[in-house]
Structure 1
Amino acid sequence: MYESLNAKKAEYIKKKDEISRELGKLIKNEPDGETTKKLKMQSDLIKENIKKLKVPLWSAEEAAIVEVLKIPNDLHSQTPDGSNQILYTHLSKPDKFKHHLEVGKELNIIDFKKNENYYLVGAGAMFELGAKFYFSKILRDSKFVQFSNPDFVKSLIIEGCGKDHTNPDLSFILHHNEDTKVNVDSRLHLTGGGSLPAFLAYHAKNVMYSKVLPLKYFTMGRQYVPAPSKEDSLFHVSQSSVVEIFGATKTEQDQDKLLEELIDILKLAYSKLGYHFRLSLVSADKLEMWESLRVSIEMYSTSLEDYVEVGNVSLSGDFISKRLMIMYLENKENKFPCLVSGTLLNVPKLLGCALEHDATFAVPNFIKIERYLRTEE
């Protein structure tokens, strides 16, 4: 449809140009001649036909662009086929069955109503604060800059990530009053400041100087995602305390270097907690459409008898930056940076796995809140 309309438009334009050239010659010698009048009428008719093509052509272009935007990112050379590839394993997985909600209730550290409504209390609340401060210190020591993001983003940003912004199962959509007309393509979405869309909202349609790259940001905040399951579990909650990172580099080589740095940070941070975990490269079929590669931090759940992703780091190259016009200026030329992002820590998932590792549960030394509180002399 689009190609046929575009071909017809090109044909009209070519014919109009030919007539214009002929008119240019005739007007000098025969400005009021019959041939001149006839060509003028043909020119006006062709202009009208081109004008009539605009609306259907715009509609066809929009439909074509929507389909093009569904094309997934190119895969990174290290992304495995078939199954995940384990990069690193620390300690051995627990073998005694425990369910984290039962343990949390017995220890009085979780007040769980449902996936959309739960509270961490006592040692659970201290675990949440301490874990975030612990990761924050490690990232600041590695020259990451702490950032503050909005909790809400526009539909444009959600779509820029390759997600369907009209799907309520993918993001929390703010609805207007029923008597108010609203454009479904320009609504607000509650994603939380600790999310990739929140970082993208700040940088979209923006041009940076090349000297500021690489960017190495992190934030501690909330992440809101509609619960993927009706099963009551800390692994499916719709609100999570997280530590989110965001990076931008000039080249894919710099992007890979930043990934290696983050892998080293993850090994250091999770090893000190004293729990079994592993780092894995996620197989191509499990990636989001915007990802070219993902490293997953996984801990074992005895209740699920399977591994749970408690954090991740993703590469997306220039896929998102092109969609959202995130650019940097170098040699008077606008270029698109490669993006690195991820949730290094998801507190509810980490706590759930920690409770299933040890039913007696104690806050690990490295994330005890007392280590990070400043005291006055």
Structure 2
Amino acid sequence: MKSALYVVGDKAQHMFVAVQPFIDFEKRLKDKDELERNITRRCTSIDLQKIEKRYYFYKTLEEKKEILEQTKYEINNLYEMVIKETNSDINKINQLKLHKHVVTEELKSLKEYLYSLEENVMISILGLPNDIHELTPEEDQIIHEFMEKPSHRSESHMKIGLNIIKLVENWGCYLRSDASLFELAISNYFQRSLIRSDFIQFQNADFTRSVVVEGCGTDVVNNKEVVTIYEPNTKNEVVEELSRLHLTGSASMYAFMAYFAKNLVYRSQFPLKYFCYGRSYKGLRSNKNLFDLTQESALNVFVASVDDVWVHFKHLTDDIIQIYNNLGYHYRLVYLQPSKLNKSESLRLSIQMFSNHQQEYVEVGNLSLYDTYISERLLFSCLGKEQIFPKLIGVIS
């Protein structure tokens, strides 16, 4: 098992460890039945029993290591006392030397074994999904619908927009003429609407390191869902594989968390309400139409709160309804079932519009509740008397 987020042992000597994620596995085990239902509802193949056994075995060995370290410390003290005596017993000195050697070797072997065991256990725990929110339904649930679904069938938008859309193979597309003017108009409309709702415009970087991508709940090793920039490093294979650069785009949760990772914010500054308009990049796309592009223009909203995050989720839902109603086209809002959620999502509200040509609904955006899942993994916390991790919400449209 490999991870860019949790690095220990020899690997930690070869690469910079940016964060050490906050892990409280025993807290999650307090409601073990609910965690098992969570795994089952998400249709994931995680063996919780196996992870639990390995975790407690690791804790047992950790206790043994502490005992050995204390024993070694006491032997050293006793040895120093004996050799200072004028009539030192040579047999006792040799016995202490032997005892010290045995304990030192056992401690060394145990530490080496613990490195691999700790890595295996902690990466498995980090692979567990977020808790499922109580409003996440067993089956997709429509909570809002505007206007009636169109009954007619139209031609493909690629055929209609033949002269105003230029597809770039294996990458994205360019909009021409009226299509480009429409993109500018719609993006300005969305941004003005958010500013009226007291959101602050933010600018992020387009590139994100592996540790942040994994901290947001996306596996980075052999994952084709993210665009990876391969940087050959013949001197350090660990860095080459686990500390890569990913083209995520500035309008993404990855980009926001690249800024807020390992960040302390005063409680008085919350809630944080930001948005970024820019590019969003995804891997493994056909790029045959506007529904499946590697590169897209997108608007990403980021909300962090240390109080009742549900209030902000409801306000954002109301904002989405008002913004899309004003467009005057049919759309619907759907709470998605657990099997359709990402690992980091607790609840997902899908914004869907109907394709007259494909005769099916297409997701054009979503509102995701992450709670403290991402902030705990990337140590984004509130500065106060005690450590508090902000609850996060993300919108992509």
Q: Tell me the distance in 1 between the aligned counterparts of 2:80 and 2:178.
A: 86
Question: Which range is displaced more, 121-130 or 171-180?
Answer: 171-180
| Residue number in structure 2 paired with 1:149 | 204
Structure 1 residue 190: Cα displacement: 0.4
Supply the AA of the counterpart residue of 2:253: L
1:338 maps to 2:391? yes
Aligned counterpart in structure 2 of residue 320 of structure 1, from 374, 377, 380: 374
Give the TM-score normalised by the residue count of structure 1: 0.82
Supply the AA of the counterpart residue of 1:160: G
Contact 1:89 1:278 in 2 (8 A): yes
Question: Which range is displaced more, 303-312 or 283-292?
Answer: 303-312
Tell me, what secondary structure is at the counterpart of 2:256?
helix
Contact 1:85 1:282 in 2 (8 A): yes
Q: Tell me the distance in 2 between the aligned counterparts of 1:30 and 1:65.
A: 51
Contact 2:172 2:287 in 1 (8 A): no
Give the TM-score normalised by the residue count of structure 2: 0.79
Structure 1 residue 224: Cα displacement: 0.6
Aligned counterpart in structure 1 of residue 383 of structure 2, from 329, 335, 342: 329
Contact 2:140 2:337 in 1 (8 A): yes
| Alignment root-mean-square deviation, CA | 2.4
Identity of aligned residues (%): 37
Supply the AA of the counterpart residue of 1:310: V
Tell me, what secondary structure is at the counterpart of 2:203?
coil
Residues 41 and 178 (structure 1), Cα distance of their counterparts in 2 relative to 1, 3 Å cut: closer
| Residue number in structure 1 paired with 2:103 | 46
Structure 1 residue 121: Cα displacement: 1.0
Aligned counterpart in structure 2 of residue 171 of structure 1, from 226, 238, 246: 226
Tell me, what secondary structure is at the counterpart of 1:153?
strand
Residues 90 and 203 (structure 1), Cα distance of their counterparts in 2 relative to 1, 3 Å cut: same
Question: Which range is displaced more, 286-295 or 171-180?
Answer: 171-180
Contact 1:164 1:170 in 2 (8 A): no
Q: Tell me the distance in 2 between the aligned counterparts of 1:135 and 1:141.
A: 10
Q: Tell me the distance in 2 between the aligned counterparts of 1:267 and 1:91.
A: 12
Q: Tell me the distance in 2 between the aligned counterparts of 1:22 and 1:155.
A: 48
Q: Tell me the distance in 1 between the aligned counterparts of 2:150 and 2:158.
A: 17
Question: Which range is displaced more, 1-10 or 156-165?
Answer: 1-10
1:93 maps to 2:146? no
Question: Which range is displaced more, 60-69 or 15-24?
Answer: 15-24
Number of corresponding residues: 337
Q: Tell me the distance in 1 between the aligned counterparts of 2:150 and 2:169.
A: 26
Q: Tell me the distance in 1 between the aligned counterparts of 2:358 and 2:284.
A: 17
| Residue number in structure 2 paired with 1:69 | 126
Supply the AA of the counterpart residue of 2:206: D
Supply the AA of the counterpart residue of 1:321: S
1:200-219 paired onto structure 2 within 5 Å: 200-219=257-276
1:226-255 deviation line (CA, Å, top 9, x unaligned): 143x3712110111111110010003x2x1
* Structure 2 gap segments, 5+ residues each: 1-53
| Residue number in structure 2 paired with 1:103 | 160
Aligned counterpart in structure 1 of residue 182 of structure 2, from 105, 116, 127: 127
Aligned counterpart in structure 2 of residue 80 of structure 1, from 129, 132, 137: 137
Supply the AA of the counterpart residue of 2:394: S
* Structure 1 gap segments, 5+ residues each: 346-377
| Residue number in structure 2 paired with 1:287 | 341
